[in-house]
Homo-oligomer: A and B are copies of this chain.
Amino acid sequence: MRTSENRPSPLPWTAVEIDGGFWGDRQRINRDHTMPAVYHQCKITGRIDAWNPQRDPNLPESHIFWDSDVAKWIEAVGYSVALHPNAEFERQVDEIVDWMEQMQLADGYANSHFIAVEPENRWRNLRDQHELYCAGHLIEAAIVYAQVTGKRKILDILCRYADHIAVTFGRGDGQKRGYPGHPELELALMRLYQATDEPRYRDLAQYFVDERGQAPHYYDLEAIERGEDPRGFWARSYHYCQAHAPIREQTGMVGHSVRACYLYTGTTDLALETGDAELTEVAHRLWDDLTGRHMYVTGGVGSIHTIEGFTVPFDLPNDTAYSETCSAIALCYWSQRMFSLDPHRRYIDAIERALYNCILSGVAYDGETFFQCNPLEAYPHISPYALLDSMSAPTHHRRVDWFDVSCCPPNLVRMVASVGGYFYATTPNRLYVHLYNQNTARLTVGANEVHITQATDYPWDGGINFTLELAKPTRFELALRIPGWCREYAITVNGAAITVELDKGYAVLDREWRAGDQVTLMLAMPIERIAAHPHIRADVGCVALQRGPLVYCLEEADNGAGLAHLRLPRTNALNYAFDADLFGGVGTITGEALRGESAQWCGELYAPAANLDFTQTSITLRAIPYCFWANRQPGEMRVWIRET
C-alpha cells in the first residue's frame, strides 16, 4: 500500500503459510469442498458459460450479478493456488479468461450480461445495474490471479476495461458524471493502482469517491434520460446506496451494508494514499459509528432485510437479523485499511470478531452449504425476512447450496483462502502479529529475512509459542496483539517473563532478535458473560457467552426446544470442555441453568399469570461456538441467553 513510510502494511497472504490448526482445517475444507462446490454451482447455473462465446443456448441468459460471482471465485483460486497449487482450478480459470478475451469488445467493455443480453442498455442505469460493481470484482480477480500465476492475460483484459471506464466516466466533455450504484470498483481501482503503479486508476477512484452524491444527482439525471421518474426508485432514497450526500458530508452508517463497507474501504484506501485529512476523518467517524452502534456481537452488520442494511443506532434484532456474510467480510476489508490509518488493536478486534463468528457461520462445517443471513436467534420454519419463506424455503435456519443472488458463497471462499493476509502487518521496524493460529510467515525486516512460526491451539487455548528464524541478528519490534476480549496475559522471551506497556493494544517487544528465539504469549481465556449496550433493546436482560474470540450459542440439539425459557443465573459456574468428537473437535460450555415452564398450560393463548402453576427445573445447558451452528438436526438456536 502506498502509505506513508511508518504506516503498517498487511503482510500478503502469499507470505503466510497456515499449515494446521483451526484455520488450517477451514482452509483445507475451503479448497477441497467449498471452492469446487462454488464452481459447480456457477457451472450448472450458467455463470461460468456466461463468458463462453459458444455457450449452450439452452442455458439461462447472463444476469447482471453473475460476473461478480465468477470473479470472486477466480480471486479465491488465486489466493489458494499461491500456496496450494491446483492445476484443475487454474485450467478452469484459464478457460474463462480465454472466453473473456474473445467476448471483450473492441473498446474494452467487458460485461457478460450487457454484451450478450441488452447491449443497448450499457451504462444507462448505474443506480441499479451493477456494471461498475462487476468490473470491480473482475479487476480484483485479475490482480490476484495474474500476480500468483504470472499469467497476465486476465490483467490485460481488465486494464483495458478499466481504461474504457476511465474514458467513459469523469468530469470532462462527453463523459458521464456517474459512479457505481453498488460500490466496490473504488477499492478495486486502488488495488489496481498499487498493482500497476498507474496513477490514472487512483485518480478514477478519487473521482468516483468525490462525485458520489453531488448535485444535480446523477441517478436523477440518468433516470430522466431513461424516461423514468427518479422518484420511482424502489428503495425510495439514495441513502440505500450511500449517495444521499457527498461522502465528505456523511455522518453515519445508512443503507445497504455491503455497499457501505465496500465504499468506505475504497475511501479509506484513498485517505491512506493521499493523506486527505477530511476523508481520514470521515473514515474514522463512520467506522466508529458502525462498530459502536450497528454491529452484532458476532461481527455481523446490517440488521434489516428490506434494504439488506442499516436502520437506526442500536436496532439489532436477533431473529430478524440480516447480518449478511458479505457484510462481515466487507467489515474486515475496511478494518484492515483502518489499521493502516490508525494502528490500534480495535480494528483487528473487529476483524477477529467477524472472522470467527459471523463469517464462518456463513458456511457449513462440511464446506458445501451456505447462509446469506446469519441471525442470532432462529426457529425452524420461520424466515421472517423472506416472502412466504415460512411456507417454503428453510433459509433462515438451514444452509442451502446456492442462492439466486449468490454473492456470499464466492465471497466466503476468497476470504477463507486469503485469511493469512490478515495475520501480520509490517512497518520498516515493527512486525505486528494480529491473529493467532499455527502458521509460518516469511518476511523481511529492513533487508533481513525473518521467519516467524506460531505453534498454538488457538482459539481453544490461549497459549501461543513463537519461534523466530533469522539469517543474522536483527533488531525490530515484535508487536503482539492483546485482544480486546483478553483481560490478563503473560509473555516470556526465551523462558524469561517480561512486562511491557501496551501500545494501542499491542505488547511491543523491542530487541535484537536471534535465530531460535522463543516467545510465548499466554492469553487468559475464561468463559465470559457478555452484556450488550443498554440501548440494544433486543438483548436487555440477556447475556452472550464468549470464550476467546468465539461467541457461543445454544442449540435445540443440545438443550431441547423452547430456548427462550432457559435462564442462566448470573452467579452459576460455567465450565469449558473440549469435545473431540464434535465437528472435528470444538470447545463447549456447560453450566447449570433454569428452565421455567408452566406445568399445565390452560390451552388458551392468553391466561392470567396468577392462575399458572409455574415451575423452575434445574437443567444443564450446553453451548457450542456460534460459527458451528446449524450443522446438526434442524432446531432452535439462540446466542443471547436470558439471565436471572
Contacts and interface: CB of A to CB of B under 8 A. Distances in A.
Nearest to A566: B540
Interface stretch (A79-87, A220-228, A383-391, A618-626): A383-391
A535 B390 CA distance: 17
Contact of A610 (B311, B528, B601, B603): B528
Interface stretch (A149-157, A267-275, A313-321, A489-497): A313-321
Interface string A198-240: 0000000000000000000000000000000000001111011
Contacts of A307: 387-388
A468 interface: no
A532 B607 CA distance: 7
Contacts of A544: 606
Q: Which of A317, A536, A540, A605 has the most CB of B within 10 A?
A: A605
A536 to B, nearest CB: 7
Given A320-B320, A388-B240, A642-B541, A312 B382 contact: yes
Contacts of A315: 379, 382, 390
Nearest to A529: B609
A534 interface: yes
A609 B565 contact: no
Interface stretch (A48-56, A123-131, A291-299): A291-299
B601 A534 contact: yes
Contacts of A528: 608-610
A531 B643 CA distance: 19
A121 interface: no
A612 interface: yes
Contact of A388 (B235, B608, B609): B235
Contacts of A537: 379, 562, 564
Contacts of A452: none
Contacts of A388: 235-237, 239-240, 306-307
Interface in A594-644: 596-598, 601, 603-610, 612, 642-643
Q: Which of A254, A292, A534, A544 has the most CB of B within 10 A?
A: A534
A307 B307 CA distance: 17
Contacts of A564: 537, 540-541
A610 B529 contact: yes
B390 A609 contact: no
Contacts of A292: 603-605
User: What is the copy number of this chain in the assembly?
Assistant: 2
Given A382-B311, A531-B612, A564-B540, A306 B605 contact: no
A543 interface: yes
Nearest to A391: B239
A504 interface: no
A387 B234 contact: yes
Contacts of A4: none
A171 interface: no
A533 interface: yes
A312 B564 CA distance: 17
A115 to B, nearest CB: 26
Nearest to A381: B312
Interface in A497-537: 528-537
Interface in A15-47: none
Nearest to A303: B384
A387 B306 contact: yes
Interface string A356-389: 0000000000000000000000010110111110
Interface string A88-100: 0000000000000
Contact of A608 (B312, B530, B535): B530
A392 interface: yes
A236 B315 CA distance: 30
Contact of A306 (B386, B601, B604, B642): B386
A377 to B, nearest CB: 9
Contacts of A235: 387-388
Nearest to A610: B529
A285 interface: no
5 nearest A-B pairs in the assembled complex, by CB-CB distance:
A531-B609, A311-B390, A540-B564, A537-B564, A529-B609
Interface of A: 234-237, 239-240, 254, 291-293, 295, 297, 304, 306-307, 310-312, 315, 317, 319-320, 379, 381-382, 384-388, 390-392, 487, 528-537, 540-541, 543-544, 562, 564-565, 567, 570, 596-598, 601, 603-610, 612, 642-643
